Amino acid sequence: MGNHTAGLAMGLMAKQMLDHRSQEQTALSILDSVCEPYRNCDAEFESQDPNQLSHVHPEFDDYTYPHPKAALGMLMVEAFAPNGINDLPKYQGFSMSMLLESDQPYDETKGDAAWEKWSEEILNPFRERYGFC
């Protein structure tokens, strides 16, 4: 069982830092500030509904997901994707919350491909950089 407090803290800090981002701050520098205090921990990034604290966020399941309202996930895309934020569409489609917003039927092949790309290009480098399990 992972550390939900660490994941929540990073998710909320990422949002605050992204909301107050200066032009010279890179996504990677923000991620370093947010994640460095939690280096090598077993962080759990399940999102929290701000209106019902014991529930998952209704718009995205995980703070690391490539969802426009998941600040941590968006910073991860910007920092680690080969083409930065321009690569966002290729990672979307593996989460039910993302599919509900798009009104597209679930396509298992596309969902699996999006998850593989996300894991390979974004999630694994993120975990390796900060030593997350």
Question: Per residue in 102-123, pLDDT tens?
Answer: 566 666 677 788 899 999 999 9
Query: The pTM is what?
Result: 0.89
10 vs 101, residue with greater confidence: 10
Please give the pLDDT value at position 11: 97
The boundaries of the domain holding residue 46 are 4-130
The Cα 109–Cα 107 span in angstroms is 6
Please give the pLDDT value at position 93: 76
Please give the pLDDT value at position 102: 58
Please give the torsion angle defined by the CA atoms of residues 49, 43, 37 and 86, in that order, rounded to the nearest 10 degrees.
-70
The first and second tokens of residue 100, run together, are 């509900």
